[in-house]
Amino acid sequence: MTLCSRRFDEKIVIVTGGATGIGRAVAMRLATEGASVVIADVNSEFGTTTEQGVRNAGGQSQFIRCDVSRSSDVQTMVDTVMARHGRIDVLVNNAGIPGPLVPIDQLAEADWERVLSINLGGVFHCTRYALPGLLASGAGAMVNIASTFGMVGAPNTPAYAAAKGGVIALTRQLAVDLGSRGIRVNAVSPGYVDNDMDQRRDRMTPEAAAANLASREATASLQPLGRLGDVGEIAAVIAFLASDEASFITGAVVPVDGGCTAFFNLGHRQASDGKFEDSPTGHPRLRPSSGR
């Protein structure tokens, strides 16, 4: 993509979970538009690779190892940024993990706590410690990464759904509390993205990894746009919300999901000619009976 825009010239940006996936795409995008990007992530290997990738593309970046669920890590990361730059213009709270796909009676307490402490606790810690830097900016902006699973129910994701629902509520709450202090707070809610979240497929056999991808593609094919999203399509909306072009937007939760939360899918797939046909993956109980 050729970008002419320099909406983030001189801006200091923190992207949590910026080592891979959506966060990496955000780091690359904002750096391409002029930002100095801090990549805060637990993954040092991919974090330094992304830091170098941004620099190779002509941008400015710094990787800081940080576990967002640990307040001491977050405090040190923010202190490092403030000592170097004296302010924070944009905070993208993106770090997250999926957690196990199990019903609540099979969910271990430790997994519940881990998912909540990273996906929701991380947003709390980063916001709390970055707040003085965002206030020092004079026009600070936050973008939190939620999920469609925080907006509607999906099978077997109780901890992830609770955490992402919490991110959405916290986004609105912070927009209310921080608007008068000059800080905008919004959320992006991605749908199925063409990305191996948490690098799960790396730990599977090739057959299981292929089946996992096929299953995600099959689910995505049921959505109105009928495909997985690209990380760049999520990053583009995050960049807009973080930029001055969105100067009158706060408290918004923007679905970037191919229309899946707009669609009450009764187990039908839409063919390329626009006609609906029964989907083999559709829930049989949701299929309308004949004559109704």
Ligand X SMILES: NC(=O)c1ccc[n+]([C@@H]2O[C@H](COP(=O)([O-])OP(=O)(O)OC[C@H]3O[C@@H](n4cnc5c(N)ncnc54)[C@H](O)[C@@H]3O)[C@@H](O)[C@H]2O)c1
Active site residues: 160
Measured from the CB atom, the residue of 55 and 181 that comes closer to ligand X is 55
Which CB atom, from 27 or from 175, has the smaller least distance to ligand X? Answer: 27
Q: Which is nearer to ligand X, 159 or 246 (CB)?
A: 159
* 62/48 Cα distance (integer angstroms): 8
- State in angstroms the smallest separation of the CB of 20 from ligand X: 4
CA angle (97, 44, 35) in 5-degree steps: 85
What amino acid occupies position 20? T
Q: Which is nearer to ligand X, 147 or 250 (CB)?
A: 147
Alpha carbons 172 and 108: distance in angstroms, whole number: 30
Q: Among residues 86 and 195, whose Cβ is nearest to ligand X?
A: 195
- Smallest separation, CB 102 to ligand X (Å): 17
In the complex, the smallest distance separating the C-beta of residue 10 from ligand X, rounded to whole angstroms, is 26
CA–CA separation, 238 and 254 (whole Å): 9
What minimum distance in Å lies between the beta carbon of 270 and ligand X?
21
Kindly list the residues in this chain that would bind ligand X in the complex (CB under 6 A): 16-17, 19-23, 41-43, 46, 66-69, 94-97, 118, 145, 147, 190, 192-193, 195, 197-198
- In sequence order, the β-bridge partners of residue 187 are 144, 253
CA distance 239 to 237: 5
Give every CB contact of residue 126 below 8 A, 6+ residues apart in sequence. 14, 16, 40, 68, 74, 78, 91, 93
Q: 232: helix, coil or strand?
A: helix
Q: How far is the CB of 177 from ligand X (least distance, A)?
A: 22
Q: Are 51 and 23 a contacting pair, CB within 8 Å?
A: no
